[in-house]
Structure 1
Amino acid sequence: MQKKFEGLNDAQVEESRKKYGSNAIKEAEPVTFWQLFKEGFEDPMIRILCVIAVIMIAMFLLGQSEWYDPVGTIAAILIVNIVSASTGVSNDDAFRKLKASQKKDTAKVIRNGKIAVVEVDDIVVGDVIVLQAGDKVLADGILADGEIDVDNSVLNGEAEECNKKAAPDDFKMPENITGDTFVDKHSLFRGATVLDGQGYMVVCRVGEATMMGQMAKDMEDKEPDSPLKVKLGKLANQISAFGYAGGIIISVAYFIHYVVLAGGISEYFAQGWGPVLSGLMSAVSVAITIIVCAVPEGLPLVIALVLMQNTGKLYKVNVLVRKSIGIETAGSLNILFSDKTGTITKGELEVVEFFTGNGETIDAEKLPGNISENLNLCIGKNTGAMFDNKHEVVGGNMTDKALLKFLGEDKFNALVKDTGLEVTASQEFNSANKFSQSYIDFKGNTYYKGAPEKILVKTKNYIDANGEIKPINQALLDEKINDLSNRAMRILAFAYSPSKMVKNEINDDAVLVGLVGIRDDVRPEAIEAIKEVQKAGIQVVMITGDRKETAIAIAKEAGLFKGGSDLAVTSAELNEMSDEEVKAIIKDIRVISRALPTDKSRMVKLCQEMNLVVGMTGDGVNDSPALKRADVGFAMGSGTEVAKEAGKLVILDDNFNSIKNAIWYGRTLYINILKFCKMQLVINVGAVLVSAISPFLGIDEPLKVTHLLWINLCMDSLASIMFAGEPALEKYMNDKPRRRDENIISKPMAVQILVMSLYLTAISLLWFKLPAVRTFFGSGDDKQFYSAFFTMFVFAFMVNAFNVRSDGLNVFEHLRENPTFSRVWGIIILVQVLLACIGGVIGEVFHCERFGLNGWILVIVFALSMYPVDVIRKIITKIATGK
C-alpha cells in the first residue's frame, strides 16, 4: 500500500535550509582580467623581460641609454599580459554562456501536502521528491516508497540499470560511500537518472554534503604545470645563462681591450676616473645589448596570440577551450584515458543486429513482410515506451527504448492508430518469467518478447529470410548467439503463437520471428579516430565501470585491444598491486574495467610520476577529480557541470573524433611555436654574435638598441600572427609524442639555428669589411651605410621566415591556406622600407637615412642569399638522416 507523504511546510523548509544549507554546489568564481594579468608575471620569459626592463631603466637614469629603450621593453611585457588575460577571460565567458544557456533542473517536491515544482538549488534535507521515469535525482537520499530502476553511469561509469526498492523504516543512508553503495537497494545519489518506475525519495544530504558536492571539493588541488610551461622554463634558464654569461664575458673582454689600447693597467687608470668610468659604462652597455639580443622578447606574445587564434578554430570542430594552455597540452599527450560510454560508444543502447532462427543476419531495411509484420507487433505491443510530441522515446526501460527506436516512430504510430490491433490481454515482463506477452483478438495471435533461453525452448519453427516457416537450426543459432554474446551484446528473442494467451506460459505452438543483438555500440568515427591517435604514438586506455568481458569486447571492436601483450585489468586487480607494479605494466594496459573514481586519479598520478603527459576524458561526477589532476581533462559537453568545471577542454559533441582534433590542433600549435622560435632565435643569435664581435673588428655598434627592439618585439608580434595561422597538416599526427621535460630546442632545430645564425653573422661582418660594399653608398656617408645594413638584417630575417615554414625545399607549400602570412610579411617589409626612407624624428630614433637604388639592390641580394644556404642545409640533413 502506498504511503502518504505530507512533506515539509514552509517553516520547516527554512529551518532545514538554515541547519543543513542549500542544495547549490559552489562553482568556481569567474576569472578576472586583473587576476590573469598578475598571473602572467609568473611566466619565466616575462620575468626575464622584467629584469631587462629594470636594468634599462637604471642605464637610462645613468645617461647610458635613451628613454625609448626601457619603454619598449615595458610595452612588450604589458602587451603580452593583456593579450593572455583577455584570451583567458574570453574563454571563461564562453564557458559560462554555455552553462547559462542550459536551464536549471527541477524536481517535483511534496510541500504543505501538495506537489510543487522547485529548482534544484531550492531542495532541502527532509524534502520528499516524487521520482518518475526520465527524472534526474537532484540530491542524496533514500527511496521511501515505490520501486524504480536508475542509471548511475554519471557517478560510477556503469551503464547497467540498478533496481531500487523502498527502504525499511529503520534504514539509514551509509556515511561512507564505496563502489557497493551505488548498487544497494535503497540509496539514491545526485546525478543518477530514473529509467523506469515511480517512487518517493526522502532527501538526506544536499549541496556540498552530497557525493557530487564532495567530488567537486576534491578538485581544489593545484593543477600540474603544463608541458609548455615546463619547456619554456628550461628555455628561459638556458637563454638567461647564455645571455648573462655572454654579457659578462664580453664586458670583461671589452675592459681588457681598453687596457691593451692604453698600454697596460697602470697607464689605463692613469687616464683618470672620467675615461675609466666611460669605458666601464661602454662595456656594460654592450653587455646589456647582448642580453637584449639573446632574449626572444616576442616568444611570450607569439604563444598568447597562437593560443588565442586556435581557440576559435577548435570551437568550429566542437571543442570549447576552458583554459588556453590545454590546447598545447593536448598535442603533447603520451597517454589518454578515455571513458567508454558516449565517447567511444554512442552512449545509448541500440539494436545492432537482427537474425533469424538459422543464424542468418538480415538488414533491418530489407525484412520480408511476414517477419516485419510480426516483429512490429512483438515490439510495438509489448513495450512500456512511446514517442512524445518532440519525437523522442519516453517511458520504459533502456531496452524498451532501444527496441522502439529500432521499430521507428512511423510504424509505432501506425500500430497505435489501427483500432483493429487493440491488445485484449497482456502480461508485462518480470524477473521470474523473463518475457512479456500480448494477445490481439483481431489477429488471434499472442506476441512474445523475452530472453532467448525462455522463448527458444518453446519454439520449433522460425520464419526464414523469404518469409517461409521452417524448422530451427539449433546448432547455427547457438553459434550466432555465442558470437554476439562474446561481442558484449544482449540477445532478445521474438515469437508469436496462433493461440490465446496463457498467463506465465509460452504456448507450445510458438513460431520464432527472430532475434536481435542490443548494445551500446561503438561509434564508427571513433574507430578511425582511435587509429589516428594510436598512429600518433599516444597510448589509449579505455577506462569503464563495465565488467571485464564487456569492456574487452568493446575495446576489440574499437581497435584498442589487439591481443598479444595488450592487458585488460579490473579495479580489484589494480588495487592488489603496488604503485611500482602498476608502473611496470602501464605501457601494456589497454582496458581498465569496473573502475572507481580512485582508480582514475591513481592512474593519472602514477603516469605523471613516470614523466608522461596524461589526458583524461569523462562526463560524470566520478570523473571530475581525475579530469582536474590530468595534464589535460576532456570534459564531455553532455556531462555534469562538475566535470566541465574540472576539464581544460569541453568536447561539445561527446565524440572521440573531436578529441583527436584537439590533439591534432595542439600539435599544430606547438609546431607553429617551434617555427617562430627557429625564426627568432636565428636572428637573436646572429645579433648577439654581430654585436659581440664587431667592436673587436673596429665596427662601431652595428645594431642599436632601437633596432633590436624593433626586430625582437614589433616584428615578432606581427610574425606571431603570421605563424598562428599555419594550417594543421595530417603529417603532424605521425610524429611521436614529446616528453614533458623535453627541450623546446631539439638537435635538428639547434643545427638549423646555428647554421643560419652563423651565416647571418658572416654576411653581416662581410658587409662592413668588404671594401666593395661601401662603393654602393655615398662616399664617406656612414649613416646610409649603417641604415642599409639594418635594412639588410631585417630583410634576411624575413627571408628566413619562409625557410622555417617547411622542412622541405618548397617553402611556399600550403601558403594559400594561411593568407595572413603573406599579408603580414608584406606589411613588415613595407614598414622597414618606410623606416629606411622616412627620415625626421623616426629616422633619428631608428638611426636611419635614405639610400639609393644601388644600395637597395645590394640589400636584397645579401638577404636573399639566406634561402639557398638553408636549402643546402636541408639537403645535407636529409642525406645524413636518411629521411
Structure 2
Amino acid sequence: MNGETGLSAFVEPSVILMILAANAAVGVITETNAEKALEELRAYQADVATVLRNGCFSILPATDLVPGDIVEVCVGCKIPADMRMIKMLSDHLRVDQAILTGESCSVEKELDSTIATNAVYQDKTNILFSGTVVVAGRAKAVVVGVGSNTAMGSIRDSMLRTEDEVTPLKKKLDEFGTFLAKVIAGICVLVWIVNIGHFRDPAHGGLLRGAIHYFKIAVALAVAAIPEGLPAVVTTCLALGTKRMARLNAIVRSLPSVETLGCTTVICSDKTGTLTTNMMSVSKICVLQSVNHGPIAAQYSVSGTTYAPEGFIFDSNGIQLEIPAQYHCLLHIAMCSALCNESVIQYNPEKRNYEKIGESTEVALRVLAEKIGLPGFDSMPSALNMLSKHERASYCNRYWENQFKKISVLEFSRDRKMMSALCSRKQMDIMLTKGAPESILSRCTTILCNDDGSTVPLTAAIRAELESRFHSFAGKETLRCLALAWKKMPTGQQALSFHDEKELTFIGLVGMLDPPREEVRNAIASCMTAGIRVIVVTGDNKTTAESVCQKIGAFNHLEDFAGHSYTASEFEQLPALQKTMALQRMSLFTRVEPSHKRILVEALQHQNEVVAMTGDGVNDAPALKKADIGIAMGSGTAVAKSASDMVLADDNFATIIAAVAEGRAIYNNTKQFIRYMISSNIGEVVCIFFAAVLGIPDTLMPVQLLWVNLVTDGLPATAIGFNKQDSDVMKAKPRKVNEAVVSGWLFFRYLVIGAYVGLATIAGFIWWFVYSDSGPKIPYSELMNFDSCSTRETAYPCSIFGDRHPSTVSMTVLVVVEMFNALNNLSENQSLLVIPPWSNLWLVASIVLTILLHMLILYVQPLAVLFSVTPLSWSEWTVVLYLSFPVIIIDEILKFFSRNSGLRFTFRFRRGDLLPKKELRDK
C-alpha cells in the first residue's frame, strides 16, 4: 500500500520471508541423506598380511602388497588381495565368498584347476579374492591383483561411475513446474499490459507510480499462481508413506524412491534369502524298510523350513509319525546328525528366532535330530513344547552328546567327500560318517533295516534302489543329498584314520534344500496380476535355480524353460538382437557376478523398464545403486544398505509387493493433493486476473495469498496423503514412466474448479461493496472506477476502498471453498456419497484445524493486523458458506462424467510436458 512508513513497511515482507524459510527448512531436514557406501566398503579390506619377504614370512600392512608377493593364509584370515593358490598347507581350504557372490555356502579351493576365461567368481576355485574370509585350512598364494585391479576394487569403481537417477515423479513435477512458470509469466505480463491505460490514474500519483502499482499486482498474481507449499507437501506425503512402509518392514532410505515403486515394471530379485529362507532344511529321508520280499525303501517327508526345531515327519502316504524315534533308521539318523556335526543352533531372544553357527548343511542335520526326537516320554511333542525356546533349541542334540563322548574327528576333504567322528559310550565305540551318497555307498557293505533294526548285506539290488532314490532327489527335486553310515569300532581306539572309513553300515539318505518362503508364490502371482515381471537373479547353478523358480511360480506354469532361463555366460554369447528378445522373456538369470547384475539393470532400463533390484552383499552394491530402486536386505552388508533406496527388515520378497502397492497408493494420493493445490491456485489467479481486468481494487494481498497457499492449503493437502489405498490398486498395470501428473481431462477439471474458486472469491469482494449491510452499498460501476474517486464527489469517503472488510470476506471465501474442495479429493472419481468424509479422519481434522487457524488470525488482534484482516459477522459467514458450497456440486458433476466414459468429453492439448507423451515402443 502507498504511504507505508517505518516498521509497518517491513511487516508484510518479514512474514513472507518467515513462511518461505519454514517451507525450505522442511525440505532440507527431510531430504538430507549422506552417502556412506564407499566408506562401508573399506571395512572389508584386510589390514595386515603374512608376506614372504627376504626369505622369511613377516606381518606387513596389506597396502604394501604388490603383484608377485607370496602370502600365507589360514582360518579366520581376511584375504588381503586377489591371489592364486600355489601350495596347500592342509588337507583342504574353504573360503566364505558371500560378500562377492551372495551364496552362503563356503567354496572349496584347489591348486590344479583349469579355469575358463569367462568363469564366474564361484567357479574360479584356484583364486582367493580380496575381502573374502578363510573358514577352514591353510595355504600359500601369490598376489595377482591389488587395489582397483581386484574383484572388490572393480565393485568400488563401478559404484563411483554410477550417478543417481531422477525419479519419474520428480521429472514430471519439474516439467509441470516449467510449464506453470511460463504460463504464470505470460499472465503477469498480460495483466501489466492490460492495465497500461490505468497507469496515469490520479490515485497512483503519476505514470511511474502507476506502472509500479500494477507491477506489484502482477507479482501478487505470481504469488497466487505458484504453489509454494507443494514441495513441502510432496515431501511430507512421501515421509508419511515411509512410516506406513516401515510398519510393513520396508525401511525407506530415499524419499523419492517411495513413488518410484509405484511405476516399477521389473523386479530383479536375488534368490537366496529373499525368495528362499536362506536356511537349509531337510525335506526328504530315504531308508531301507525291509528285505523280506525284495528291497523295499521307505521315504519320509519333513515339514518346517527354518532353523526352528518345529516340524513333523510324514510317511509316503502323508500320515504324520507320532513318535519318529521309534523307527530304527530314523533314530540312527538323529544320532548321526547330532554327533557327526561341528555346528551349533541357538535361540536369539532379541531377534526372537533360531540362529546357526557353522555350515548350513550341518545345522539342517541338527534341526532334523530335534524333529525326530528321542525314544520314550521325553520325545513326545507335549513334553518338548513345555521347554523354553533356549532349552528346546538343542535339547535332543544335547541328549546324544551327553550319551556319547566324541574322541576323534576326520574332517571333510574334497577327495573323500565325507566326514567321520569316533564316539564312545560304556565300553562301546562307534564311528559315525556323513558325506556324498556315492562316496558313502561305495564304502558300505551292510545296511540297517527300518522295520526291525537288523543289519543285512548291501546287495546290488539294494544299492540300485538307493542310487535310484538318490538320483531322484538330486535330479528332479534338486535336493542337496547326504548319506549317513556307522560302524562299530574296537574298544579303546583314540584316533581315526582314513583306513577306518570302510566296511560301513548304511543308515539312510537325507535330501535338503534352501526352501522357498511360503508367501512368495502368492506374491509373485500378485506381481503378474499387477503387470510386474519378476526376474530371479542368482549365483547358484541353473538346475537348482530352475527348480526353485518352478516351485514359486516364476515361470508361470511353463514346462519348457528355454528362452526364459539363462546363465550369465549363455546371455553374454547371444547376438544383440537375441539379447533384446531374451530380456523381454527372461525369468531366471543364473551364475551371475556383480558386473552381470549391473549389465542386466542397464539393459532393462534401456528398454524403458523401471527396475527394482534386490541384494544383500557387497557384490550387489553397484547394481543396487544403478537400479531405479535398490532394495537391500536387513541382514545384508552395510555396503548394500548404504547403496540402496530401501531396506527389507524381514528379507522377505512379499514385503516388496506390499511396498509396491503402497507406492502406487502414494502416487494416487500425490495426484489428488496436486489437483487440490493447483485448482486452488488457479482460483487465486482467476481472482486477481479478473480483478485487474475489471478495474476493481485488489481483492487479496500477497501475505494473505501466502497464508492461504502454505498454511490453509498445506494442512488438507498433507492429510489427503492419508487417503485409503484402493482395493484394486494391484490389479492395474504399472503406469508409464512418461505419464504426466496432470492429464488433459484432469487439467480441464482444474480449470473448471479453479474458475469457480476465483469467481466465488471475487463475488465475496463485490458483495460487500454492493449488497452488504455493513458495506457502503455503492453501485458496481463506481466500484469499477474506484481509481477516480478523488476526482468525483461521492457520498462515501474514498478510504472505503482500502477497508479490510472486503478482502477479509474474499480471503475467507477462498479458505472455505478450498476446504470443501479438499473433500472433493477423497477420490478422483468416486462420489462423496460412496466415500464419505469420515473415511479419512485426518482430512476432517485438518479442515477443522485450518478453519480454527483462519479464525485465529481473524479474531486475535496482533495477527489480524499482520494479515490485514478484520472479524466477520454471522451474516457475512452465511454469505461465505453460500458462495463456497457449490464447489462440491460442480465437482460431483465432473466426477459423474469421469465415471461414465461414454459421457466424458475429450480435451486435447498440445503441451507435451502436460500430457503423456506417445510411447516410442509398444511394450
- Structure 2: gaps spanning 5 or more residues: 288-296, 304-311, 314-320, 349-353, 371-393, 491-495, 778-799, 905-923
For 2:317, the equivalent position in structure 1 comes to: none
Query: Given residue 230 of structure 1, which amino acid in structure 2 is its aligned partner?
Result: K
Question: Under a length normalisation based on structure 1, what TM-score does the superposition of the two structures give?
Answer: 0.77
Q: Which stretch shows the higher mean deviation, 206-215 or 334-343?
A: 206-215
For 2:857, the equivalent position in structure 1 comes to: 835
For 1:250, the equivalent position in structure 2 comes to: 191
Offset of residue 389 of structure 1: 11
- The one of 801, 814, 826 equivalent to 1:805 is 826
Deviations 1:418-445 (A, max 9, x none): 14xx568876655555455567676787
- The one of 276, 290, 308 equivalent to 2:221 is 290
Query: Given residue 856 of structure 1, which amino acid in structure 2 is its aligned partner?
Result: W
Counterparts of 1:304 and 1:686 in 2: how far apart (Å)?
24
Structure 1 residues 850, 82: CA separation in 2 closer, same or farther (over 3 Å shift)?
Answer: closer
Deviations 1:81-136 (A, max 9, x none): 322332244x549x89x989x999988966999xx99999899777966532x665
Structure 1 residues 562, 661: CA separation in 2 closer, same or farther (over 3 Å shift)?
Answer: closer
Counterparts of 2:838 and 2:60 in 1: how far apart (Å)?
53
For 1:16, the equivalent position in structure 2 comes to: none
Counterparts of 2:242 and 2:5 in 1: how far apart (Å)?
45
Structure 1 residues 305, 856: CA separation in 2 closer, same or farther (over 3 Å shift)?
Answer: same
Offset of residue 242 of structure 1: 1.9
Structure 1 residues 407, 811: CA separation in 2 closer, same or farther (over 3 Å shift)?
Answer: farther
Counterparts of 2:355 and 2:692 in 1: how far apart (Å)?
80
For 2:876, the equivalent position in structure 1 comes to: 855
For 1:788, the equivalent position in structure 2 comes to: 809
Does 1:327 find its partner at 2:258? yes
Query: Given residue 400 of structure 1, which amino acid in structure 2 is its aligned partner?
Result: E
- The one of 332, 340, 346 equivalent to 1:382 is 340
Counterparts of 2:245 and 2:515 in 1: how far apart (Å)?
27
Alignment of 1:281-360 (within 5 A): 281-356=212-287, 357-360=297-300
- The one of 555, 559, 571 equivalent to 2:553 is 559
Alignment of 1:160-239 (within 5 A): 161-165=106-110, 179-180=119-120, 183-199=123-139, 210-221=150-161, 222-239=163-180
Query: Given residue 416 of structure 1, which amino acid in structure 2 is its aligned partner?
Result: E
Structure 1 residues 177, 841: CA separation in 2 closer, same or farther (over 3 Å shift)?
Answer: farther
Does 1:492 find its partner at 2:489? no
Question: Under a length normalisation based on structure 2, what TM-score does the superposition of the two structures give?
Answer: 0.74
Q: Helix, strand or coil for the counterpart of 2:554? A: coil
Query: Given residue 690 of structure 1, which amino acid in structure 2 is its aligned partner?
Result: C
Offset of residue 671 of structure 1: 3.0
Alignment of 1:484-883 (within 5 A): 485-495=475-485, 503=499, 507=503, 510=505, 513-564=507-558, 567-726=564-723, 731-747=728-744, 749-767=746-764, 774-775=771-772, 777-780=774-777, 783-807=804-828, 808-810=830-832, 820-838=842-860, 840=861, 842-880=863-901
Query: Given residue 369 of structure 1, which amino acid in structure 2 is its aligned partner?
Result: Q
Deviations 1:338-389 (A, max 9, x none): 1222222222433233355244435545424223311112323333445689
Could you tell me whether the CA contact under 8 Å between 1:334 and 1:539 is conserved in 2? yes
Query: Given residue 610 of structure 2, which amino acid in structure 1 is its aligned partner?
Result: V
Counterparts of 2:704 and 2:865 in 1: how far apart (Å)?
12
Deviations 1:202-242 (A, max 9, x none): 77766666432331232123222222221121111121122
Counterparts of 1:334 and 1:312 in 2: how far apart (Å)?
24
Aligned residues: 798
Query: Matched residues, percent identical?
Result: 25
Offset of residue 680 of structure 1: 0.5
Q: Which stretch shows the higher mean deviation, 386-395 or 303-312?
A: 386-395
Counterparts of 1:547 and 1:676 in 2: how far apart (Å)?
49
Counterparts of 1:270 and 1:493 in 2: how far apart (Å)?
103
Structure 1 residues 66, 107: CA separation in 2 closer, same or farther (over 3 Å shift)?
Answer: closer
Query: Given residue 268 of structure 2, which amino acid in structure 1 is its aligned partner?
Result: F
Query: Given residue 274 of structure 2, which amino acid in structure 1 is its aligned partner?
Result: T
Offset of residue 793 of structure 1: 1.2
Could you tell me whether the CA contact under 8 Å between 1:351 and 1:403 is conserved in 2? yes
For 1:403, the equivalent position in structure 2 comes to: 365
Could you tell me whether the CA contact under 8 Å between 2:369 and 2:397 is conserved in 1? yes
Could you tell me whether the CA contact under 8 Å between 1:109 and 1:127 is conserved in 2? no
Counterparts of 2:726 and 2:664 in 1: how far apart (Å)?
10
Could you tell me whether the CA contact under 8 Å between 1:107 and 1:129 is conserved in 2? no
Q: Helix, strand or coil for the counterpart of 1:745? A: coil
Offset of residue 413 of structure 1: 1.6
Offset of residue 677 of structure 1: 0.7
For 2:294, the equivalent position in structure 1 comes to: none
Could you tell me whether the CA contact under 8 Å between 2:201 and 2:210 is conserved in 1? no
Counterparts of 1:613 and 1:489 in 2: how far apart (Å)?
35
Could you tell me whether the CA contact under 8 Å between 2:261 and 2:664 is conserved in 1? yes
Deviations 1:228-286 (A, max 9, x none): 2211211111211221222233333344xx38xxxxxxxx9999997544554454344
Q: Helix, strand or coil for the counterpart of 2:587? A: strand
Counterparts of 1:73 and 1:613 in 2: how far apart (Å)?
40
Counterparts of 1:615 and 1:806 in 2: how far apart (Å)?
29
Counterparts of 2:189 and 2:557 in 1: how far apart (Å)?
60
Offset of residue 799 of structure 1: 1.7
Could you tell me whether the CA contact under 8 Å between 1:570 and 1:594 is conserved in 2? yes
Counterparts of 1:772 and 1:215 in 2: how far apart (Å)?
72
Structure 1 residues 661, 123: CA separation in 2 closer, same or farther (over 3 Å shift)?
Answer: farther
- The one of 379, 385, 397 equivalent to 1:412 is 397
Structure 1 residues 756, 352: CA separation in 2 closer, same or farther (over 3 Å shift)?
Answer: farther
Structure 1 residues 525, 563: CA separation in 2 closer, same or farther (over 3 Å shift)?
Answer: closer
Counterparts of 2:594 and 2:823 in 1: how far apart (Å)?
49
Could you tell me whether the CA contact under 8 Å between 2:16 and 2:703 is conserved in 1? no
For 1:240, the equivalent position in structure 2 comes to: 181
For 1:150, the equivalent position in structure 2 comes to: 95
Q: Which stretch shows the higher mean deviation, 321-330 or 490-499?
A: 490-499
Q: Which stretch shows the higher mean deviation, 775-784 or 457-466?
A: 457-466
Structure 1 residues 112, 315: CA separation in 2 closer, same or farther (over 3 Å shift)?
Answer: farther
Counterparts of 1:788 and 1:812 in 2: how far apart (Å)?
33
Could you tell me whether the CA contact under 8 Å between 2:762 and 2:810 is conserved in 1? no
Counterparts of 1:587 and 1:392 in 2: how far apart (Å)?
39
Counterparts of 1:711 and 1:177 in 2: how far apart (Å)?
67
Query: Given residue 100 of structure 2, which amino acid in structure 1 is its aligned partner?
Result: L
Structure 1 residues 110, 99: CA separation in 2 closer, same or farther (over 3 Å shift)?
Answer: closer
Q: Helix, strand or coil for the counterpart of 1:531? A: helix
Q: Helix, strand or coil for the counterpart of 1:351? A: strand
Structure 1 residues 277, 428: CA separation in 2 closer, same or farther (over 3 Å shift)?
Answer: closer
Could you tell me whether the CA contact under 8 Å between 1:627 and 1:646 is conserved in 2? yes
Cα RMSD between the aligned structures?
Answer: 4.7
Could you tell me whether the CA contact under 8 Å between 1:543 and 1:593 is conserved in 2? yes
Could you tell me whether the CA contact under 8 Å between 2:345 and 2:363 is conserved in 1? no
Offset of residue 589 of structure 1: 1.5
Counterparts of 2:454 and 2:708 in 1: how far apart (Å)?
84
Q: Which stretch shows the higher mean deviation, 758-767 or 369-378?
A: 758-767
Deviations 1:823-870 (A, max 9, x none): 4332210121233334x5643543422232122122123323333333
